[in-house]
Structure 1
């Protein structure tokens, strides 16, 4: 391998505990095992020469490729068209045990010839522990065994005894190289297995066909639980399956992305490890999962978050980390891999994430918003979790007015970020609601007073009359697209003049042909060199904000245009570059979560604009916060001390 495959030229396969990226050229150039956050086995995406890869390519001077998923599954099909024949590679990972973590994972690559004849050159070149551990390889009649200090990989051959396809097999510098020649109708392949319980063996094609059929059936049955019937079913379904792929089944935690250090700017230093679970994704995750009907996943994620809330260390300590490993641990010490060049020369390559230790005030708001909504939807808050939430809310009361690193995890010094105040308001508001509705013990008067103090601070100091907009931090004139979430959490009505002028200011300063930047690093230095692309999740938040404000035609156009920036499989990375290329870790959960909630909201508002609304069916989950609630809806204890403070509806979804 000599050229970096582009970020967008990939599909993802996985078994709900780890995942692999497969390029349109048939190369697996990213695979970590046994978990998403484990060291890499194949890492050519970050270093083509030293990272390790598994290449399958036609032996032909020229050929064309096409890549697609089997319909409604995460089984990937890469087709190769040559002058001599047409062949394909079917890549998939049979789902692992849903509740038990395991070191044993299978990655199946089935080779097929559908027309004429075709020869495939194959090279299997693992590089264990980010290419820091050497390995030995041993050849067996049924395949090969690669052994490093901490990792073992077995590769089984898929063949029919007595009908073996012709080809060469050899070991070169610790890598396996082979050529497989097929004619029409033949199916062969390879199965990679981590920590296998036996030596390499010859796997009959029929066994692989059964694994394939079982995997297809799994995804069909899972997707059948979706209740989404809106306008963008194909994209929403693909996002849902991608989010499921990035969920670690044994704990219910969702990683932000299965990759690390894919850059926000090619050649820049904005390269981070996203193979962890962010608390910030909690609220969007629950709204998206319940909005689509995936209650089981919502329950698992809520349990995972509830366990994190209960780990409160005591007075003075922040009640939550910004992010966790998928097993709930918080050891995320950041280090660089100096021996890797990075994606297209974008060093440094980082593992671990130093932002885990930052003070980010919005985290508690995300957690409370999630648990409050879960409680509304029949996923009750236990006494133990409520006790932990009291400690969390008390911490917010005492610390919400501190400078912090902010939602974008800047490294240029702490500031009084408006979004942190907004989500602190959200934390207190949801806690008051939960206490009042259920009669749980709480210092409701204290929480209400602090909530309203935050409200007035944002209105007085987070608002710049010259810009006629809410700003990134108190007293500044810098815009921030994170504030597109203000109506979504119910802080301000979407038709409020202050909000409409903020939306207009964001449109003028941070929106480029419908794509949205997070903020302007030149106006608000973030401690990092270089620039970045537009932030895809913010574009979908912008769609939501437009829909809530009644700008349905513009919102739908922005949404439809954003769909054209997906890759050939409907997947998104974190950002979009100047020429439409995908940047940042891939695929990114936050982007796909935002796509789902934007689709649900836009569908609901478009339906509401039709004659004959309201519909006979219940509203989608994320639509619930689109309209302010009357003060009487929660009873007299929740009557706000600031009469203009809006509240979202507490309508409960009928299932």
Structure 2
């Protein structure tokens, strides 16, 4: 998994392997038909390869501050550069999907071969080829795909796939690609227009990056993470997708394969601090408005996540016959956590709203009323057991869940005092103090001097680090808990999510960056910076991608990718370390 780079157009993401093969591309959006899914089904998943015919070495990078990928192949007879782009239109997102692949001859002579082989949509459909009057068209489960190949290429049909061959020479330029629609006519874009679309898309990404403001440390890693997070912001609605994939395993010993192609409230909340700090206005407002619309439509209780189109997902989990990555199934569609109670979501929601208001914006009247009702609901529900932020099957009184409710109520009090929401702020304040008292007594293990996972448990939970960051506790108790976490849950710089996970899964990347932030705010600034330096050197692949988990022993990636939470944790750790008395390295107020 560590070999993949990501390109995208605001709706879908393609994963491009180091050898130039696209092994994952759902169409027309992330939750659409997985037309190319060899990532999860090596035999029948389908792929779109583009590489030299002969043996090669390879290097790659993104084209500057863009999400367009450039891969250089070198053979014994010459070298070529392949530029991959999910194209944008003149006015933004295209009404169809357009994948363009440009091949430029750099030196010598390089025979090239592309294979476009649509798969079986995780063994739920069969592709077929139509030889239309305007050329060969592929069809799969409502998708219509047109393969486009420019001058100097030879296209041959092989069963349900197409093989494209050509020879690149010094200074030559070839274009191959495809266009796709779902349940609508297909606009068969000319290859020369696909080629022009690459340059247009590069210009669009560069224009976006010019609006990006960050003059703090780890500039390259922060900016690349921001670009990847932009890929995961689902442009039609503004929601933050947790990851671009489904069912990439977290473990080889326990079935932990999840579908993360939904918009999580938590990830949307964590993204706003970064978006505000980077001066990105449109994305900030879109994410904020998306979240509040969902709450008004489906409230009053906020859900853990919503579908990418904004509806409430059902708890139904569909398992396919696809074998999974390296045969480690199951491959699932949907997420059974949809109807869980997670008290932390209340805090995430109010974090979003507080950030928005604190940066000089105003709430509408209807939203204010809904938030007041949610604050009242928090007062009543915080005493209930829930599934916790790790979406566990057994409901318990998780300490960090109570702290999510505390964060919600303290946020509601602040919003009421500045006139942004109506309601009984005195009740919210009193209930927040009751939660604090509960955590300080029931959530504290006096003998071990740690916050515990839940009352009566001797186990630890790394998500407590988030409440050093939230400001609940930055004193001796939190420092003692951090020491215990590092002693019991760490493997080098990496942290496992909670007790018992070392035997079941790999280290959770975001937890290590949360530790960076927690160390910094509790006064261990030099240690925080040293850990950050080590993490940014080891957590990403050659083009800056991070997965959900990492094997501390090998550095192998596990879980879904690109993972929003991992990149958000890196970005917010960099922001935290850049802060000095409430000021950031770029001079913006926190």
Shorter-chain TM-score tier? over 0.9
CA shift for structure 1 position 197: 5.0
Aligned equivalent of 2:526 = 553
Mapped pair 1:432 → 2:418 = no
In the TM superposition, 1:210-229 aligns within 5 A as: 210-229=196-215
Say which of 370, 385, 394 aligns to 1:388: 370
Aligned equivalent of 1:16 = 10
Say which of 454, 462, 485 aligns to 2:435: 454
Mapped pair 1:76 → 2:69 = yes
Measure, in 2, the Cα distance between the counterparts of 1:96 and 1:248.
17
CA shift for structure 1 position 209: 4.1
2:368–2:422 CA contact under 8 A, matched in 1? no
CA distance 1:154–1:209, shift in 2 (3 Å):
closer
Say which of 473, 476, 483 aligns to 2:464: 483
1:19–1:258 CA contact under 8 A, matched in 2? yes
Structure 1 segments unaligned to the other structure (5+ residues):
1-6, 524-529, 622-655
1:110–1:187 CA contact under 8 A, matched in 2? yes
In the TM superposition, 1:92-131 aligns within 5 A as: 92-95=85-88, 104-131=96-123
Mapped pair 1:576 → 2:550 = yes
Measure, in 1, the Cα distance between the counterparts of 2:376 and 2:20.
53
Measure, in 2, the Cα distance between the counterparts of 1:95 and 1:485.
37
Measure, in 1, the Cα distance between the counterparts of 2:269 and 2:408.
12
Aligned equivalent of 2:490 = 511
In the TM superposition, 1:61-460 aligns within 5 A as: 62-95=55-88, 104-139=96-131, 143-159=135-151, 164-165=152-153, 167=154, 169-195=155-181, 197=185, 200=188, 202-204=190-192, 207-266=193-252, 268-313=254-299, 319-411=301-393, 413-438=394-419, 440-460=421-441
Measure, in 1, the Cα distance between the counterparts of 2:534 and 2:308.
34
Measure, in 2, the Cα distance between the counterparts of 1:103 and 1:201.
12
Aligned equivalent of 2:517 = 544
Mapped pair 1:593 → 2:568 = yes
CA shift for structure 1 position 198: 5.1
1:334–1:354 CA contact under 8 A, matched in 2? yes
Q: Alpha-carbon deviations, 1:553-579, whole Å to 9, x = none?
A: 211111111112210001100011131
* Secondary structure, aligned partner of 2:71: strand
Q: Alpha-carbon deviations, 1:369-388, whole Å to 9, x = none?
A: 11122111122111111111
Q: Alpha-carbon deviations, 1:216-243, whole Å to 9, x = none?
A: 1111111111220012111111001001
2:216–2:585 CA contact under 8 A, matched in 1? no
TM-score by length of 2: 0.95
Q: CA RMSD in A?
A: 2.1
Measure, in 1, the Cα distance between the counterparts of 2:584 and 2:468.
23
Comparing 208-217 and 511-520, the one that deviates more: 208-217
Between the two proteins, the alignment pairs up a number of residues equal to: 586
* Secondary structure, aligned partner of 1:600: helix
CA distance 1:513–1:435, shift in 2 (3 Å):
same
TM-score by length of 1: 0.86
CA distance 1:351–1:67, shift in 2 (3 Å):
same
Measure, in 1, the Cα distance between the counterparts of 2:501 and 2:549.
18
CA shift for structure 1 position 283: 2.3
CA distance 1:333–1:43, shift in 2 (3 Å):
farther
